[in-house]
């Protein structure tokens, strides 16, 4: 399958985004009890921005390779008439 590397790149960046999101949540919980009132959650926001960047990279790779992915003859079912769907819109 010629576009297999594209699919792997999308999967890897989405998994990395999920990991960053979970780490940001744990850091947020730790900072919630450690920081004094009025201090900023800079570390949490940086990690969350990295997570958003990974989602943006995955969505842009998928958007760029959408035609090649859905017009391939490697599938056992008809996927050439596929649509983006709501999850793609939410990712952007």
User: Is the four-CA dihedral 25, 62, 75, 16 of positive or negative sign?
Assistant: negative
Looking at the structure of the chain, the number of domains it has is 1
pLDDT in tens, 59-74: 999 888 877 776 666 6
More confident residue, 4 or 33: 33
Note the pLDDT of residue 36. 81
The span from the CA of 53 to the CA of 58, in Å, is 9
pLDDT in tens, 40-57: 888 999 999 999 999 999
The span from the CA of 12 to the CA of 7, in Å, is 9
Domain region containing 39: 1-91
The span from the CA of 50 to the CA of 27, in Å, is 14
pTM: predicted TM-score of the whole model, two decimal places = 0.76
The span from the CA of 76 to the CA of 51, in Å, is 33
């Amino acid at each position: 399958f010629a576009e297999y590397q594209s699919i792997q790149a999308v999967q890897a960046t989405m998994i990395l985004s999920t990991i960053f999101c979970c780490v940001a949540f744990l850091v947020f919980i730790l900072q919630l009890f450690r920081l004094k009132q009025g201090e900023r959650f800079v570390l949490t926001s940086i990690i969350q921005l990295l997570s958003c960047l990974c989602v943006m990279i995955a969505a842009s790779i998928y958007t760029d390779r959408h035609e090649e992915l859905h017009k391939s003859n490697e599938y056992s079912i008809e996927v050439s008439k596929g649509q983006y769907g709501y999850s793609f819109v939410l990712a952007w």
